[in-house]
Copies of this chain bind each other. A is one copy, B any other.
Amino acid sequence: MAAKKKTARKAKPKNAFYAQSGGVTAVINASACGVIETARQHKDKIGKVYAGRNGIIGALTEDLIDTSKESAAAIKALRHTPAGAFGSCRYKLKSLEENLREYERLIEVFEAHNIGYFFYNGGGDSADTCYKVSQLSKKMGYPIQAIHVPKTVDNDLPITDNCPGFGSVAKYIAVSTREASFDVASMAKTSTKVFIVEVMGRHAGWIAAAGGLASTEDTPIPIVILFPEVEFDEKKFLARVEDMVNKHGYCTVVVSEGVRWPDGRFLADTGLKDAFGHAQLGGAATVIAGMVQRELGLKNHWAVADYLQRAARHIASKTDVDMAYAMGKAAVQFALKGHNSIMPTVERLSSKPFKWKVGMAPLSKVANVEKMMPKSFITRDGYGITNKCREYLEPLIKGEDYPPYKNGLPKYVRLKNLPVAKKLPKFELS
């Protein structure tokens, strides 16, 4: 009887844990969909997929969601639903030395719930956490296969060609920049001559660069891009805007939230900081707008896209959705093959025609590495994108993947998110 029980236990497949981390995107749920749907196809090897309620905090507080309670239709609908269906968080685990008890708690929770797979869906910070968990779990004698699923609108993860989430925000910015530019162009004779749109991207100008895609050979648009990579030069910038308006009658300025004055301060510095210690930005557009009005006397309008840009599932890039799903799917497939401490990547095979395949990167090479825009992607004058940049970006915004609609509004799913019964004592977050 005892022997039989032991055999039964041994046969019981390990469960998986999945969590969303950091700022959400229009397609992070497509990765969740890829993870869960693929896991469900391998019930002999993966038991249940538990999700962390509000990201990694859900693991620390043992607040797990039982995704097996969700219907196949609900999980499928994740593919077209923006934001984080299980909740995400900005909660960075400190170093192993500083806060070993949180890492140990993670392992305890995983062990208590028979979790053998850790799928962590996020950016640089979560890649780091994922890496540490895989290291520590070995030491603690409870091996976890820790796999990072790439996600970030900032497109700053290394090795992978791009980060799911970026292509859709890039498409949103490219489309919106084109549309608003058509608007300004038609009003410029007697009204607004300069339109300014502020976009996300704290350290890297990937999203700002996407604004440059709005202008193409068959639809040229005078666009001035302000990259965080390029030190802001007020005089030179204003001369450029004036020149554009003189030549074309109007101009559109795409300004990254991360643009800085020569002294290093953000144009939009508000003094606030988020949980990761990053400066909380917003308002570069108003600074530029005031400058254009004051110094050039040009009537202008400004927009700040903020969350609208990263939540805009209605105009998601099909390429991006496909990649997000593929990363989630590959994470599970790699886990089933026994891989650990890795991240599936997008490997670009060619740009024209666009071909890519799923690759793999060791987390040791991903954690704490930030991918910046190559200098060769920014034109010499500092205000535009090069053909090389365009060749890189264009495939990422290709294709539309519209969600279903009901009464004029997109039908986004809300899951039941039922909790898994707790087994451990309460844990206080540090």
Contacts and interface: CB of A to CB of B under 8 A. Distances in A.
A319 B23 CA distance: 35
Contacts of A410: 175, 178-179
A76 to B, nearest CB: 17
Residue from the set A184, A305, A397, A409 with the largest chain B CB neighbour count within 10 Å:
A409
| Interface majority SS (helix, strand, loop, mixed), chain A | mixed
B183 A82 contact: yes
Nearest to A282: B302
A394 B412 contact: no
A173 to B, nearest CB: 10
Quickly give the copy total for this chain. 2
Contact of A313 (B174, B179, B192): B179
Interface string A189-209: 111100101000000000000
A410 B88 CA distance: 32
A340 interface: no
B286 A187 contact: no
A311 B407 contact: no
Contacts of A213: 408-409
A198 to B, nearest CB: 9
Interface stretch (A5-13, A143-151, A378-386, A398-406): A398-406
A303 B301 contact: no
Interface string A112-130: 0000000000000000000
Residue from the set A306, A312, A399 with the largest chain B CB neighbour count within 10 Å:
A306
Interface of A: 20, 23-24, 26, 54-55, 57, 81-91, 171, 174-176, 178-180, 182-187, 189-192, 195, 197, 213-214, 216, 219, 272, 274-275, 280, 282-283, 285-286, 289, 293, 299, 301-308, 310-315, 317, 319, 394, 397-400, 402, 405, 407-410, 412, 414
19 contacts: A20-B186, A23-B187, A26-B179, A54-B189, A81-B182, A175-B314, A175-B410, A178-B409, A179-B410, A180-B306, A182-B412, A190-B275, A191-B275, A282-B302, A303-B308, A304-B304, A315-B315, A398-B408, A402-B402
